[in-house]
A and B are shown apart, each in its own frame.
Chain A
Amino acid sequence: DQQVKQNSPSLSVQEGRISILNCDYTNSMFDYFLWYKKYPAEGPTFLISISSIKDKNEDGRFTVFLNKSAKHLSLHIVPSQPGDSAVYFCAATQGGSEKLVFGKGTKLTVNP
């Protein structure tokens, strides 16, 4: 049973527009959420995170929104750039656990 779901395998947007990547989770005990970005032939790199006590966290062009009642989070990238083209993984953890539970990833393509 998948606890972290990224239902869109891929997303394509134009340069300069907004990219919105979605993530849903089923485990109500999750209290910390992270987004990782992965380029081909490289390991994932941490992008941004959010605690369940917040509903928004912003870092430059990247903003993560958390809707606890809907068990849903989203990553907004504004404006999107071609260098943002990568696979984005949503991950969740609970109670300071060492274990991260990852979604399957969404491949973002930003077209020039």
Chain B
Amino acid sequence: DADVTQTPRNRITKTGKRIMLECSQTKGHDRMYWYRQDPGLGLRLIYYSFDVKDINKGEISDGYSVSRQAQAKFSLSLESAIPNQTALYFCATSDFSPGTSGRAVNEQFFGPGTRLTVL
């Protein structure tokens, strides 16, 4: 069973529509993240959350909003989708664990991704 799940896996929508992407995790992690991946651009952070009461903007938050409904659920919304939001979206989770140096390691666990196309 997958530890981090995303729904839907694929979505095609039209400009101006409201879209919600959902992420659920069973890892018991407090921290959750949303990234987008564009061809040739790597992964860029949209929003992240330390717990249900803490939401933070990432590198590219404009045009997006999020909701942390519970420790295990973190949703990403596009209020009015536009074509340049066509991308692959990933949810991730993390929890600090000691590294070999004794320092906390921010290893993140990713979901399988949602491919969103905005026409």
Residues of chain A at the chain B interface (Cβ within 8 Å): 4, 6, 9, 32, 34, 36, 41-46, 49, 51, 53-54, 57, 89, 93, 96-100, 102-105
Contacts and interface: CB of A to CB of B under 8 A. Distances in A.
B4 interface: yes
Interface stretch (B13-21, B67-75, B109-117): B109-117
Given A89-B42, A105-B42, A42 B101 contact: no
At the interface, is chain A mostly helix, strand, loop or mixed?
loop
A46 B99 contact: no
Contacts of A46: 107-109
B50 A98 contact: yes
8 contacts: A9-B40, A34-B106, A34-B107, A45-B109, A45-B110, A98-B56, A98-B94, A104-B41
A49 B42 CA distance: 18
A15 B60 CA distance: 39
A42 B109 CA distance: 12
B106 A100 contact: yes
A95 to B, nearest CB: 10
Contact of A43 (B106, B107, B113): B113
Contacts of B43: 44, 89, 100, 102
Interface residues of B, number: 31
A105 B41 CA distance: 8
B34 interface: no
B119 interface: no
Given A43-B90, A43-B92, A96-B106, A54 B40 contact: no
A100 B43 CA distance: 9
Contact of B40 (A34, A41, A104): A104
Given A49-B105, A53-B101, A96-B103, A103 B42 contact: yes
Interface string B34-78: 000000111111001010000010100000000000000000000
